[in-house]
Amino acid sequence: MKIIGIIIILIACTAMGYIIDSWQKSRVDELEDLIYAFEILKGEIDYRLTPIIEACQRVSEMTSPKISRVFECFKRYLEERELLDTKAMWKEALKVNEDHLHLTFEDYKVLNEFGGVVGYLDKEMQKRNVELLINKLIKIKDEAKEKYQRTSKMYRGIGILVGACISIVLI
């Protein structure tokens, strides 16, 4: 019985290490997808002069399922017009999909800025705002990637070792 308990603790701690590691990897992937999505959006606004609802539809069709959900939601809110402004709509779209994403508070803070400026003034203004957001996201993504590369092995190793330490104490 004792051995079974120890094995369970060891497996749980190892799994925990791997889960934290995969969480960080998902964050990097999602940030990359978001940059890709905003690049598409920028292209749609700049070259094709597509209205924001259609542009969001196009972005949701071309990106990964997780990011696609956010843009789909945003598009739906824009069509329904139940919320007060685009800022609230974008915020709500992010909030609804929060469970599916692995982004941090800082990431959401940067992403929320997009809601305030989307659809504001002319094409150039919107293009510049999206570009600014993309630059910020690239910076965050680079930091996240660097952190992931540095701590990836650490989380996995510590998971196993903490499990081993608890097992030894319990023996």
Partner 1 sequence: MVDMMLILKIAGIGFVLWAIEEILNQAGIKNAPKYVGIVGTVIILLIVVQQVALFFETVQTMFAF
Q: Give the interface with partner 1 as residue ranges (CB under 8 A).
A: 150-151, 153-154, 157-158, 161-162, 164-165, 168-169, 171
b vs e for 111-127, b when ≥16 Cβ sit within 10 Å of the residue's Cβ? beebbebbeeeeeeebb
Cβ 168 to partner 1, closest distance in Å?
4
Residue number, 96 or 164, with CB nearest to partner 1: 164
Cβ 165 to partner 1, closest distance in Å?
5
Residue number, 84 or 168, with CB nearest to partner 1: 168
b vs e for 140-167, b when ≥16 Cβ sit within 10 Å of the residue's Cβ? bbeebbeebeeeeeebbebbeebbeeeb
Angle separating helix axes 2-46 and 105-117, nearest 10 degrees:
20
Residue number, 82 or 146, with CB nearest to partner 1: 146
Cβ 4 to partner 1, closest distance in Å?
20
DSSP state of 143: H
Residue number, 81 or 150, with CB nearest to partner 1: 150
